[in-house]
Amino acid sequence: MFRANQLTYPKLLIYSYYQRYITILPSAVCNKSYSKFGAKHDFLANDAIELSINMDQNLLKQWQAISDNEPDFMVNCSQLCALLMQQIDEISWCGFYWNREKMLVVGAYQGPLACTRIAYEDGVCGAAFTQRQVQIIDDVSLFEGHIACDSGSASEIAIPIVQHGQVIGVFDIDSYILKRFDHQFSVYLEKLIQYFVENTIIPKFV
């Protein structure tokens, strides 16, 4: 069933299938064409699986289409969080923590209310920041020092945001299911965040 009220961006066409939303992009940014979805009954289960797998790979292309010629920091932070929340299955929170005032301070995000400030030595975000390494946590209850902004969180990924060789923040994603994130996903996410950094004017206060 086509849901016109779900159209949040003109380039995105959202189609509901077995209660999951799958975003179909213009052929320029997606290896599927609209015509394949002309009739609901043509939309086979295999297509849903294939699209779900392709979704991570297409995130960068989607972001490039959305942020084309748009370097504004607040716009891009907000839009990127909204895109990821809409496009990535089974996540509960995604957003930025920026290195400000000798702490990690929350920035734009989507999801339930989050911790405002995190010390460098604390939590999954602190580990990503101080170790300059992606943290993929299959089960947050086993991570010593995990900060439970939302008691429902089960797994998490945090990636350092690097600009000119300096870690300027962390991008964090939470999920209510265990083992939601894997290495392959982290590679896509890192590419996406790097593209964001290179194409956004990040203000001095960060």
Residues in contact with ligand SME by the rule CB under 6 A: 93, 114-115, 118, 123-125, 146-147, 149, 153, 156, 172, 174
Name the minimum Å distance from CB 174 to ligand SME: 5
Q: Which residues contact 160 (CB under 8 A, 6 or more apart)?
A: 128, 129, 132, 133, 134, 167, 169, 170
Q: Which is nearer to ligand SME, 24 or 103 (CB)?
A: 103
Q: Which two tokens stand for residue 36?
A: 């394949």
Least distance CB 181 / ligand SME (angstroms): 13
Which lies closer to ligand SME via its Cβ, residue 15 or residue 181? 181
Q: How many CB atoms lie within 10 A of CB 151?
A: 6
CA distance 106 to 109: 8
User: Smallest distance from the beta carbon of 145 to ligand SME, in angstroms?
Assistant: 7
| 59/125 with CB nearer ligand SME | 125
Dist. CA 8–CA 12, nearest whole Å = 7
Between 65 and 83, CB nearer to ligand SME: 83
Question: In the complex, what is the shortest distance from the CB of residue 140 to ligand SME, in angstroms, rounded to a whole number?
Answer: 7
Give the CB-nearest residue to ligand SME: 123
DSSP 119: -
Strands (E) in the chain, as ranges, are 13-17, 20-24, 93-100, 103-110, 117-118, 135-137, 155-163, 166-175
* Alpha-carbon radius of gyration of the chain: 17
Q: Which is nearer to ligand SME, 63 or 96 (CB)?
A: 96
Q: How far is the CB of 19 from ligand SME (least distance, A)?
A: 26
